[in-house]
Amino acid sequence: MPTLSIHLIKGGFMNKKYLWLLLASFILLMPGPAAGQEERASRYYHYRSTEMSTGIYEEYEVRPRGIQPTFEPRAQPGIGISRVEDEDARAWNRMFLQDSHKDLRFYEQRRCVDCHAENANNRHTIRHGITCRQCHGGEPIASISSYTSRLNPIRQHTHVCSKCHSGANASFAMYRIHEPNPAMASTLDVFPFLFYAFWIMIAIAALTFATFLPHTFLWMVRELFRRRKKEDEV
Amino acid sequence: MKIKRFTLLQRLFHLLLMVSFLVQAATGVGRMYIETSFGQALVAPFGGFYGALAVHRWVGLFLLGLFVVHLLYLFLVVFKNGKKSISGPDSIIPRLGDLKPALQHVGWMLGLRKHPPLDRWAYWEKFDYWAVFWGMVIIGGTGLILYNPLATAQYMPGWAMNVAFWVHRIEAILAMGHVFIIHFAIAHLRRLHFPMDKVIFTGRAGLKASKAEKAAWLARLEQEGKLRSVTAGEASMPARIIAYVVGFTAIFIGLYILVGGLLNARYITW
């Protein structure tokens, strides 16, 4: 090193020989090309851009019993977790979605549960704080029977269930999130298995209690008045 | 004077069943009542809503393991004692002959009949024993279905878990109701045993109380000349103290869950 600096001082920085040496060492020390410099040839290249959801949900939500969604509303439009223009991609996907709430008056001022009150009564919402839009998506919300809906049974397990239940299959998606009240007679039409299972179990429980509650009560009372016999003594 | 009624292994089975049942009750009811402060207090010692589920799963597996061990024990007993353990008077298997003393016992409660001379296992004891079997099969089976939903979905449609959930819940409520009301009353509230029948912890039943209630059993022992070999002294003082502490702790936890559950039932979403 001392010899090099002596040479530099002697020859000066303008000496071409050392200038090339300096440049070569810069190039060697520079970092390689960054991942961000990759070329994006197609908007469909990234899965994120074709996904129905960016994972960011609308500002307003159902807020069941104080359990509130923990995510933050987006600060600026166009800046999300996706690296590509997700707004564009969403619009592209969404133009095929049918809007179930089209032409509803004051729709923006309403919450989901204002109309779909009974649908908030599910364990995903009540016990885990999952909000409507985390599964049903942002606007426009299509009916689950709409072909392009994310909740259409042909794709709900991949597009909705597996967001949390990694590895969910179509059978898994047959779990009834909006479970009908098993006690209601109307359940017999939509979910007969649940209806019968519920009432058979209730019948077993009722029979057991109906037998043993009075039995135990009578017994306790009777034993209070039991006479102690002499032959009991040993 | 005491009489030997339960072996050490049988008492151990009861103790492990009791502890794991209470843990399952606290974690399960706590999660069910999570919307209320009662439920939140119940799951707090287990690490909250999600911690309680982890405990519930592990203890559930333990209970099923205990059940399998008990089945092995039953096979060994039958293998060792042969036909006698199934059809003999010491057998816990219900039979038609239990019907008459059962009806007579009810008659006695109503003041119509004399107290029946019951044998070693009375009809309500047989019911309690086999109720655990049916509970284990139903709660354990549905518990396994709910244990890993993703794995379950490989073998049955997802809606089976809706059904399993409700069966699990109702059967659990039945089991807790039966244990926390009926079983507790029989073991603690009866004048014969008040404030607590320690037999399941010490293994020794009072000879006088047994003579009064299980006359047929005592008569049979006397007739066979076995009475002397099954009598024993009083359990040691520490054993009795431990029995009381364990028993009353279980009572406290059970009644807390029962009363809290009943009072808060209308504040939760079912």
Q: Is the pLDDT of residue A9 over 70?
A: no
State residue B241's pLDDT score. 94
Cβ neighbour number for residue B133 with a 10 Å cutoff: 12
Given a contact cutoff of 8 angstroms between Cβ atoms, the answer to whether B29 and B264 are in contact is no
Residue of A nearest to B184 (CA): A216
Where are the domains positioned within chain B? Answer: 2-267
What is the predicted ipTM?
0.93
When pLDDT is averaged across residues B226-254 and rounded to a whole number, the result is 92
Comparing A30-34, B51-55, B209-213, which segment has the lowest mean pLDDT?
A: A30-34
Q: Rounded to an integer, what distance in angstroms lies between the CA atom of residue B261 and that of residue B174?
A: 13
In this complex, is the C-beta atom of A229 within 8 Å of any C-beta atom belonging to chain B?
Answer: yes
Cβ–Cβ of A233/B208 closer than 8 Å? yes
Predicted structure pTM score: 0.80
Please determine, for residue B74, whether its predicted confidence score (pLDDT) is greater than 80: yes
> Rounded to whole angstroms, what are the CA distances from A90 to A56, A85, A132, B228?
12, 9, 19, 86
- Provide, as residue numbers in chain A, all residues whose Cβ is less than 8 Å from the Cβ of B174: 201, 204-205, 208-209
Percent of chain B scoring above 70 in pLDDT: 100
Mean pLDDT of A144-149: 85
Q: Tell me: pLDDT of A70 over 60.
A: no
* The pLDDT value given to residue A95: 62
Q: Residue A90's pLDDT is what? A: 52
Q: How confident is the model at residue A196 (pLDDT cuts 50, 70, 90)?
A: very high
Contacts of A226 in chain B (CB under 8 A): 115, 191-192, 212
Tokens 């000066």 map to which residue? A12
Chain A nearest CA to B79, separation (Å): 33
Q: Classify residue A78 by burial, with Cβ atoms within 10 Å: 0-12, 13-18, 19+.
A: exposed
Contact criterion met (CB below 8 Å) for B43 and B30:
yes
The yes-or-no verdict on residue B144 having pLDDT over 60 is: yes
pLDDT at A136: 85
The tokens describing A218, both together, are 């009578």
Residue A116 and residue B113: Cα distance in Å, rounded?
61
What pLDDT does B18 receive?
96
Among the ranges given (A28-42, A70-84, B5-19), the one the predictor scored with the smallest mean pLDDT: A70-84
DSSP labels for A184-230?
STTHHHH-HHHHHHHHHHHHHHHHHHHHHHHHHHHHHHHHHTPPPPG
Q: Which residue has the higher pLDDT, B179 or A148?
A: B179
Please say if the pLDDT value at position A69 is more than 50: no
Q: Tokens representing A51?
A: 């996904």
At B9 the pLDDT is 95
Which residues, in sequence order, are CB contacts of B72 under 8 Å at separation 6+? Answer: none
Q: Grade residue B162 by pLDDT with cuts at 50, 70 and 90.
A: very high
Token couple for B43:
């799951």
- Segment B10-35 shows an average pLDDT of 96
| Helices of type H across A51-122 | 86-94, 112-115
B188 to chain A: closest CA residue: A220
Q: Given strand B204-206, what is the order of strands in its sheet?
A: B204-206, B2-4, B231-232
Which chain A residue's Cα is nearest to B138?
Answer: A201
pLDDT of residue A67: 46
Stronger pLDDT, A57 or A92, i.e. the higher one: A92
CA distances from A214 to A14, B42, B128, B164, B182 (A): 109, 30, 16, 30, 10
Comparing C-alpha atoms, which of B245, B176, A206, A209 is closest to residue B184? B176
User: Cβ–Cβ of B157/A174 closer than 8 Å?
Assistant: yes
Confidence grade of residue A65 (pLDDT, cut at 50, 70, 90) = very low
Residue A160 pLDDT greater than 50, yes or no: yes
Long-range contacts of A197-201 (CB under 8 A, 24+ apart): A197/B163, A197/B166, A197/B167, A198/B166, A198/B170, A201/B166, A201/B167, A201/B170, A201/B171, A201/B174
pLDDT band at A226 (very low <50, low <70, confident <90, very high): confident
Specify the CATH number of the domain B2-267.
1.20.950.20
Whether the CB-CB separation of B257 and B25 falls below 8 Å is answered with: yes
**Least CB–CB distance from B174: residue in A169, A205, A234:** A205
User: A87-91, B80-84, B161-165, B230-234 — which is least confidently predicted?
Assistant: A87-91
Considering only A40-49, A93-102, B40-49, which range has the smallest mean pLDDT?
A40-49
With bands split at pLDDT 50, 70 and 90, how would you rate the model's confidence at A40?
very low
Work out the number of other CB atoms within 10 angstroms of the CB of residue B197. Answer: 20
- DSSP class of A143: P
pLDDT band at A221 (very low <50, low <70, confident <90, very high): very high
Contact partners, residue B97, CB within 8 Å, separation at least 6: none
Is the pLDDT assigned to residue A50 strictly greater than 50?
no
Residue A196, phi then psi, degrees to nearest 5? -70, -45
How many A×B Cβ pairs under 8 Å?
A: 117
